[in-house]
Amino acid sequence: KQEVTQIPAALSVPEGENLVLNCSFTDSAIYNLQWFRQDPGKGLTSLLLIQSSQREQTSGRLNASLDKSSGRSTLYIAASQPGDSATYLCAVRTSGTYKYIFGTGTRLKVLA
Amino acid sequence: DAGVIQSPRHEVTEMGQEVTLRCKPISGHDYLFWYRQTMMRGLELLIYFNNNVPIDDSGMPEDRFSAKMPNASFSTLKIQPSEPRDSAVYFCASSFDAGEQFFGPGTRLTVL
């Protein structure tokens, strides 16, 4: 059974810092992995989708990497801004299923 | 495209009442997912459809929960009778070929 873990649960950094959010999964036979952002009281916004055949994906200041063998993905945020403050969730789709299993998220606060 | 549309955005009801949540997926998407989010359990998949057919309802907590998708542009999640422990935010998401998921704004349900 796939389990997805995100550590730390919360993170507070000063504006301008580069930071890394972690996502770990127990079953390396994944189809893809998706990173989301959730603002308080809002829905989830898709940030990046990374296929199992890819090592990384980039969008603006965001870069997601995937290492299936170690069961890890990282989301790198460059030059963080207060507007990046939100909860970041990763979701894993295991091969052979159409279900996504979500991590519990990392709550990020970027201080001005 | 307007994105995934959910209604109502907020619902307050009394224990024992029937609750119906509605979702309109993005046009052209063939997968529709219903999720529930709580502080204790995070984001849980309840059921998903492919081409209007329910594929996996193993996440539906009890027989009090039911979901339908009568056509490609509409789905409902019904709780009858509702209980206080059903209070949560319910999200609908859609995708094409079970790829990148796009979430609606959610329905915040409070059962008194």
Separation in Å, CA of A16 to nearest CA in chain B:
29
pLDDT tens track for A33-76: 999 999 998 899 999 999 999 999 999 999 999 999 999 999 99
* A4-5, strands of its sheet edge to edge: A4-5, A19-25, A72-77, A62-67, A56-59
Neighbouring-strand partners of residue B101: none
Q: Please report which confidence band the pLDDT of residue A98 belongs to, taking 50, 70 and 90 as the band edges.
A: confident
Share the mean pLDDT of chain A: 95
Contact B55 A98 (CB under 8 A): yes
pLDDT at residue B99 in the model:
83
Cβ-Cβ pairs closer than 8 A, A with B, add up to: 44
pLDDT tens track for B15-52: 999 999 999 999 999 999 999 999 999 999 999 999 99
pLDDT surpassing 70 at residue A83: yes
pLDDT surpassing 80 at residue B98: no
Chain B residue with the nearest C-alpha to that of A39: B105
Contact A102 B43 (CB under 8 A): yes
Contact A104 B42 (CB under 8 A): yes
pLDDT surpassing 90 at residue B106: yes
- State mean pLDDT over B101-107: 95
pLDDT at residue B10 in the model:
97
Chain A residue with the nearest C-alpha to that of B57: A99
- State mean pLDDT over B47-68: 94
Q: Please report which confidence band the pLDDT of residue B62 belongs to, taking 50, 70 and 90 as the band edges.
A: confident
Residue B3 DSSP label: -
Report the alpha-carbon distance of residue A14 to residue B90 in Å, rounded.
33
Contact B98 A104 (CB under 8 A): no
pLDDT at residue B97 in the model:
83
User: Which of B39, B57, B103 best probes binding to A when mutated, by most A CB atoms within 10 angstroms?
Assistant: B103
Name the interface residues of A facing B (CB cutoff 8 Å): 32, 34, 36, 42-46, 49, 89, 91, 93, 98-105
pLDDT at residue B1 in the model:
64
Which residues on chain A are in Cβ contact (under 8 Å) with B93? 44
Residue B30 C-beta-side C-alpha neighbours within 13 Å: 7
For residues A41-72, one letter each, b for 16 or more C-beta atoms within 10 angstroms of the residue's C-beta and e for the rest, the string is eebbebbbbbeeeeeebeeeebbbbbebeebb
pLDDT at residue B2 in the model:
79
pLDDT at residue A1 in the model:
87
pLDDT at residue B103 in the model:
95
User: Which of A6, A48, A51, A99 best probes binding to B when mutated, by most B CB atoms within 10 angstroms?
Assistant: A99
